[in-house]
Amino acid sequence: MKFLDQARIHAQSGAGGNGCLSFRREKFVEYGGPNGGDGGRGGHVYVEAHEGLNTLVDFRYAPHIKAGRGVHGMGSNKHGAAGKDVTITVPVGTQIYDEDMEFLLADLTDPGQRILLLEGGQGGKGNAHFKSSTNRAPRRTTPGTPGEERWLWLRLKLMADAGLVGLPNAGKSTFLSTVSRARPKVADYPFTTLAPQLGVVHADGREFVLADIPGLIEGAHEGRGLGTRFLGHVERCGALLHLVDGTGDDPGAAYRTVRDEMIAYDAGLEDKPEIVAVTKADALDAELAADAVAAVTAAGARDVRLVSSVAGQGVFSLLTALLAAIDAYRAAEARADAMAADGPADGDPATRAGDDADGGTGSWSPV
């Protein structure tokens, strides 16, 4: 299935049915009178987050969503039926913007979350609604009100625990395919990854979701390369794993390039917990590996690690550190939410300290 993280849709709720003008006239019945029924309300348009979806591609081929119209009122005090509601199912993490993409209307971050997007029109009143002691034969009715109609943008931000960032060809896809059963395209040329990829990683008896996004280049915030559009998929991550190609000409400059683009993106990515690793250690001798780590450290990175996805070198310790960073970030979020609610947190996620040495008691395995 093709991945699509942005779609423009046209949604329209149903109009209300009109009220009916009718009078009761029956043979051998002494008293008649108005008996026009009310019209039914128009159908609503709902949006619901579904955890079984991970793309918005369906809306490319069916962008128009329309709810049913309310049925008109009828004689004999028969009220019209309500129009059929429509529910739009979207992946968890979908945001809904107005037509100009300036105002965020909804953010669906929980499975099963359901919101009313457009309200159906009200049904009109039949003439029976207006009868009174002074107006026994009203000829007044009201039409149903029209439904709401608007163009909207859907934007998907994947819900992952950790995100992979780095320049093109830094080894992100190789790392993802090593630690999970995800099978992204891996090749020896830049931009082999054209869409975000997700993988479930099992490490030390736990699991977390790791997202790989297309590589960034200098000037990405100005639209160069694939731009920064896909950085939105790591906005919700608890931690970032920044991979730097150890065989590149200047690993320090490569690290700074990606950091500068995250800062220019201006969504707080630079403030997230970051773990930095120099990749392709199997292709470096001891001296070159030390030089690469030193260059990345001099560029501003802290606690730089050396890893080889192909040989498995440093993989377990890297995953352990990533789990600890995710836990620490989620615990800080829980404390902040508790303070915002002016009450104690129900319980912060436990912060774990992993074994930092390869070959420890823990283990990881792709699933």
Annotated binding-site residues for GTP read 166-173, 191-195, 212-215, 279-282, 308-310
Count of all residues that appear for the chain in the document: 367
Residue ranges for the known binding site are 166-173, 191-195, 212-215, 279-282, 308-310
Contact 305, 317 (CB under 8 A): yes
Alpha-carbon span 276 to 217, nearest angstrom: 17
Residue 96, token pair as written in the block? 């809904």
Residue 177, token pair as written in the block? 């395919």
The CA angle 254-256-259, to the nearest 5 degrees, is 115
Alpha-carbon span 10 to 67, nearest angstrom: 12
Judge residue 236's burial from the number of C-beta atoms within 10 Å of its C-beta, 0-12 exposed, 13-18 middle, 19 or more buried.
Answer: middle
Q: Phi and psi of 323, rounded to 5°? A: -60, -45
H helix runs in the chain, sequence order: 58-61, 172-179, 251-265, 286-298, 315-340
Residue ranges for the known binding site for Mg(2+) are 173, 193
Chain centroid to CA 307: how far?
Answer: 30
